[in-house]
Amino acid sequence: MHAPRAKPHGPSIIQLNSVAHHSSAIKQRVVEEVVSNTTLIVTWMENFILYEELGKGSSSVVYKGRKKGTLSYVAIICADKAKRPYITNHVRLSHDLEHPNIACFYEWYETSNHLWLVVELCTGGSLESVIGHDGCLSEDVVRRFGWDLVKGLKHIHELGIIFSDLTPAKILLDGSGILKFGNFCMSKAEGETVEDFFTLFSTSEEAHNEDIKENFSNMRKMLQGSPSYSAPEVLQGSETNMSSDLWALGCVLYYMYTGKPPFYSDIYTELTEMILYQEPRPPRQTVISSSPPSEDFQNLLKGLLNKNPDKRMDWPELLHHPFWKQVLKEDMEEEEHGKEGHQQGKNECEGVGSTSSRIPDHFSQGQENEFPNSHSAIMKSASKISRKLISSQTKSATSHRQSDRRADCQQAVRHTTSGSLKEQQGL
């Protein structure tokens, strides 16, 4: 049952209009939705201050925000209701996640025309924006960033989640240069198929909308992920799984070092042929260094980009690969000096809501019916997943690194814009 609709009482019931930095677009959106807001939404809006717009996509806008009574800044995403099925998927998978390399998801609400998500503010933007500005990264920075991705993805897999569409646009950086996974909109629980994914959406309130049913084949294609980062077996029709996630990880590492994915073409059929039958070119860069990469790095890429999933590098091999020797040594030294960084990271995620993930941009088009009044409907549809997440949840063995260990990574993100949004291919 929906809460009683609140009558508009002018700007005084919503404090957003009193902030000096508000753009006219924010004011217009608030006024537009006050008429049909519920008491719950009005109360929520009174608890947050919205500042400037950080960026926008085709169907969403991101604002800088702050919860009243705290000094904790957040990102507040305003998304069209058409994206609701994909946002629902993000929430069902990410609401229980807590890890230094997974961005925090706090709260979500609905107004008459939009969904509002309160998420962690990642001021470094996306990995895609970093490479767009810098061209490529040194091997040392790739090693540090890569280890962030390994730890985050390992935690995701341990909880029975397949990320499915691992691309640089869905990897975010906080202010100290730590990489964090975001946007679980196209992810799934281990063992789920595209049919399960479709059923989840069609059994929610938008089931009567024929557009979703007509787009089943398009959904299958989207769930394969971005073509440049899709494993060969996925392009041939297999479901995404942990092994295909590791292929995509190899593509991202290659991309960070060279500035381009290992296989790239504007023509889809040509790109598919390259991924299926060609070997990637040896990684080279001319912007930072003309010397070839280390043998350890080349060996790591070769193992992750093996076209045969049965022979592809698995988790034990990845975690014990000699390429990570230096970063593991640094982490061990920091652990000896205590866990202040880990405690600080926990404190940053407290006081707003439950922890999980940030959604950078571009959820695929869904429906325009109303959101469930409570989160229980969403969580019920994901009860099998939630039980698996809770039963298999393990404590992270690594802690936040000290800021002085991040000097090289902070240098790598020096040109990025705060919270910039990028279009995501294929969505």
356 vs 232: CA distance, rounded Å: 30
Taking the CA atoms of 114, 115, 116 and 120 in sequence, report the sign of the dihedral they define: negative
The Cβ-side half-sphere exposure at 323, using a 13 Å CA radius, reads 27
Specify the 3-state DSSP secondary structure of 148.
helix
- The string of DSSP codes covering 364-409 is PP---SPPPSSTHHHHHHTHHHHHHHHHH----S--PPPGGGGHHH
Q: Which position among 134, 165, 174, 245 bears the catalytic label?
A: 165
Identify whether the C-beta of residue 114 lies closer than 8 Å to the C-beta of residue 33: yes
97 vs 89: CA distance, rounded Å: 14
Q: Where are the alpha helices (DSSP H) in 57-174?
A: 84-94, 127-134, 139-158
Write phi, then psi, for 51 (nearest 5 degrees).
-110, -135
Residues ≥6 apart with Cβ < 8 Å to 254:
261, 262, 280, 283, 301, 305
- Name the region of 135 (left: φ>0; alpha: ψ -120 to 50; beta: rest): left
Token reading at 190: 């281990």
Q: Which amino acid appears at position 226 of this protein? A: S
Q: Is residue 314 among the annotated active site residues?
A: no
Q: Looking up tokens 């969904």, which residue turns up?
A: 115
User: Could you list the active site residues?
Assistant: 165
